Amino acid sequence: MTRPTVDLSRFDNSDFPKGAGAIKRTLWYFTNAVFFLNPCFPFRSVKPGLLRMFGARVGKGVVIHPGVNIKFPWKLTIGDHCWIGQRAWLDNIDQLTLQNHVVISQGAMIVQGSHDYKKPHYPTLSGPVLLESGSWVGAGAIVTLGVTLKSHSVLAAGSVATKDLEPYMIYQGNPAQPVRERVIDPL
């Protein structure tokens, strides 16, 4: 008996909802390359405005460092006073929402797409990601599709979140597991 195999020649992503036409996607590609991905463009103040021009909802006090990759700004909502570190990758092919005071550290990845490995033609899968207020994605950590980091949860550096993180808990490892409660000192 012959086992089924993967056949990537049958892959067809044409029906995947990109959320914008070819012209807008092309303009964003070059805007992203020049103003966001480019490590030689250090000016943070213009980035929220550029995101808004492409349909993102962006709050006040947002800091986006150089080297950040953003897939589809029209599927992005960023609340007030959020920080996105160098080389962060927001692969937001689905809705990505950062509530207020969220941190995505250097080299962290929000990966909202995958493929159905059970099907020979590898169709694309996606899911929304929600980072609730005060949550923190540590350096080099990965958040996968469909995951919510609940209020003030922490995903430690290098960890991988494949399931929701509970509020005020610190998670570590691959897959991320709760290791202790997050206690914030009063002012």
In a domain, 1, yes or no: no
Q: Which residues contact 87 (CB under 8 A, 6 or more apart)?
A: 67, 68, 106, 107
In a domain, 3, yes or no: no
- Chunk the chain into consecutive blocks of 10 residues (it has 187) and report each block's average pLDDT, rounded to whole numbers: 89 89 97 95 92 98 97 98 98 97 98 92 94 98 98 98 98 98 94
Residues 71-102 as b or e (16 or more Cβ within 10 Å = b):
bbbbbbebbeebbbbebbbbbbbbbbbbbebb
In a domain, 7, yes or no: no
d(CA 140, CA 80): 23
In a domain, 183, yes or no: no
Please tell me the predicted confidence (pLDDT) of residue 92: 96
Per-residue CA distances from 39 to 22, 36, 162 (Å) = 26, 8, 30
Domain that holds residue 60: 20-178
Summarised one tens digit per residue, pLDDT across range 4-51 is 898 899 998 888 899 999 999 999 999 999 999 999 988 899 999 999
CATH code, domain with 44: 2.160.10.10
As for how many domains the chain has, the answer is 1
In a domain, 65, yes or no: yes
Model's pTM, two decimal places? 0.94
In a domain, 133, yes or no: yes
In a domain, 171, yes or no: yes
